[in-house]
Amino acid sequence: MTKGDDTRLNILEIGLDVASRRGLETVTIGDLARTAKMSKSGLFAHFQSKENLQVELLKYAGETFSRDVVVPALKTKAGIPRVRAVMENWIRFSGALTGGCIFVTASSDFKDRPGKVRDLLLQQQRDWLDILRRIAQSAVREGDFRSDTDCDQFAFEFYSLLLGFHLYATLLDNADTQLRQRTAFETLITIYRREPVPQS
């Protein structure tokens, strides 16, 4: 890795933390240059525009998310263990960022703003829902989920739970938040779990 690559990675790491705390929209070249203790012109040379910077931050967040959440989960046994790994990895990923999940905050910033940032964010969210759908399909194949499982519905409900977890963790942090997270997750799993076949 070259010195320029190291500098760019450092900028993206700092920018990701800033975006998670204050929102992706607030991240500007000037502001990030001050935070990273760089010259504005030096940082501009890496990204050329605020929009490009925001796109690169989302791409970096996506790569980090894949590395920390998706890839480890896919190495876990298919079925309910993999679903459980996704939940635990997602909560750990969101908790590691100062302000929580950047994709959630970016969704608020860019939901009504056409452009490259919103296009990338939408594609990332579609890809994430597709991953959840395919994980549900693997749980059906493994016999952990019912054969009539609507995997798109599962993906919707599971992601809705994760978004609820995020709200509780970042805004409504109560002492029993973790217990409620676990209870809600186990309730969801119970809905989709295949009943064991009675032994004759």
Which residues sit opposite 193 in a β-bridge? 145
- The fraction of the chain above a pLDDT of 70, given in percent, is 93
The model's pLDDT over 38-94, given as tens digits with 9 standing for 90+, comes to 777 877 787 888 888 889 899 999 999 999 999 999 999 999 999 999 999 998 888
The residue to which tokens 């791409």 are assigned: 59
The predicted pLDDT at position 155 comes to 97
* CA 49/CA 70 separation, integer angstroms: 30
| Res. 198: pLDDT tops 70 | no
For residue 142, report the phi and psi dihedrals to the nearest 5 degrees. -75, -15
pLDDT interval class at 6 (50, 70, 90)? confident
Which residues sit opposite 145 in a β-bridge? 193
* CA 86/CA 80 separation, integer angstroms: 10
Range in 111-115, 163-167, 193-197 the model is least confident about: 193-197
Nearest to 142 by CA among 79, 83, 74: 79
The predicted pLDDT at position 85 comes to 96
Structural domain boundaries in the chain: 50-192
- Indicate the fold that domain 50-192 takes in CATH: Tetracycline Repressor; domain 2 (1.10.357)
* CA 103/CA 153 separation, integer angstroms: 21
The model's pLDDT over 106-139, given as tens digits with 9 standing for 90+, comes to 887 777 788 899 999 999 999 999 999 999 999 9
Task: Say what the pTM is.
Answer: 0.86
